[in-house]
Amino acid sequence: MKVLTALICCLLLAGCTSQGATEGSSKKLQVIVTLFPLYDMARAIGGEYADVSLLLPPGAEAHSFEPRPGDILRLHKADLFIYTGPFMEPWAESLLKGVDAKGLKAINAGSGIPLLRQGKEQGDGHDDHHHEGGDPHIWLDFHNAQTMVTTILAGFTAQEPAHAGAFRRNAAQYQARLEELDRSYRSALADCRSRTIIHGGHFAFGYLAKRYDLRYLSAFPASGDSEPNARQMATMIELIRSTGTGAVYYEELVSPRLADTLARETGSPLLLLSAGHNVSRDDLARGVTFPDLMERNLKNLRQGLRCR
């Protein structure tokens, strides 16, 4: 039986070692998370004592995701389930009601973090008709991200007190990395010729803009909004011209068609700004981290905002 289990494990997980395939793996804390930033935080905290898996398939769009029947089965076997909050994953709490697993602990990683009103900075007058609860992209303020790490850490130590010391050290290291990111963003974005981020994607960077005193305009005030109409596009193009910004940003994992139109109409370069909801299969395999994505963003922000 053990041989069969090991064989199935190795067929399912190409990377699993023979040691991991036997009893060693069953002793690791089984952690399931919804989004990539949580995945990165949880695997950093858990280190060698946790198996962390992402519910969202690599490359999938986060806002339109709905859990599949197989996900409920996976939750039955998990020790920890971590989600961002009821406005980012409105399905999470009802999913949990359907899971009858005594050992499972659920963590709302956004607990205690006040939400910004979504679309407040939006320039074209069709604000906040979505997500009345506020902007769910809390991880894009690195101070919030630190709070999320603290909340996730509490879940790990409650479920596995024997490794609390290691979890705390790992979490402290991750917090230090976030602190360093915050410092480099603050100094790199202090002196820029433009202070307006023009985003041809859905409203996601409100927290980041607020933290570094930038203005943020997005073509879609919320995910799932219908495309802007011709008049709204014209207003957006006019705004880009009047702010003299150096780039139009497109979002990860969706077609950049709209951002591309804005860039072409205004003769601006098109640059990626990743909110980090999810990553591609290639990036996941390459072991890219949330701070890596944020470093790439900073490079593109410095270029697009023409910072000194």
Binding site for Zn ion (CB under 5 A): 204
Least distance in angstroms from the C-beta of 257 to Zn ion: 18
Nearer to Zn ion, 175 or 297 (CB): 297
- Residue 272 pairs in a beta bridge with 250
Element spanning 97, H or E: helix 92-97
Q: Which residues contact 60 (CB under 8 A, 6 or more apart)?
A: 253, 278
Question: Least separation, in Å, of the C-beta of 204 and Zn ion?
Answer: 5
Nearest distance from residue 236's CB to Zn ion, in Å?
19
Of the pair 171, 204, the CB lying nearest Zn ion is at: 204
Find out whether 242 and 202 touch, Cβ atoms under 8 Å: no
Of the candidates 173, 202, 176, 167, the residue with the CA atom closest to the CA atom of residue 49: 167
> Cβ atoms within 10 A of the Cβ of 148, count?
26
Task: State the DSSP string of 125-144.
Answer: S---SS-TT----GGGSHHH
- In whole angstroms, how close is the CB of 192 to Zn ion at the nearest point? 24
Least distance in angstroms from the C-beta of 63 to Zn ion: 5
| Closest distance to Zn ion from the beta carbon of 137 (Å) | 5
Q: How far, in Å, CA of 300 to CA of 274, rounded?
A: 10
Closer residue to Zn ion (CB): 181 or 204:
204
**Of the two residues 56 and 236, which places its CB atom closer to Zn ion in the complex?**
56
Question: In the chain, what is the straight-line distance between the N-terminal and C-terminal CA atoms, in Å?
Answer: 63
Question: What b-and-e string marks burial along 213-248, b requiring 16 or more CB atoms within 10 Å of the CB?
Answer: ebbbbbbbbbbebeebeeebbebbbebbeebebbbb
Closest to Zn ion by CB, 38 vs 78, is 38
Distance of CA 178 to the CA centre of its chain: 14
Q: How far is the CB of 118 from Zn ion (least distance, A)?
A: 10
Does residue 137 contact residue 83 with C-beta atoms inside 8 Å? no
By C-beta, is 57 or 244 nearer to Zn ion?
57
Q: Which is closer to Zn ion, CB of 36 or CB of 212?
A: 36
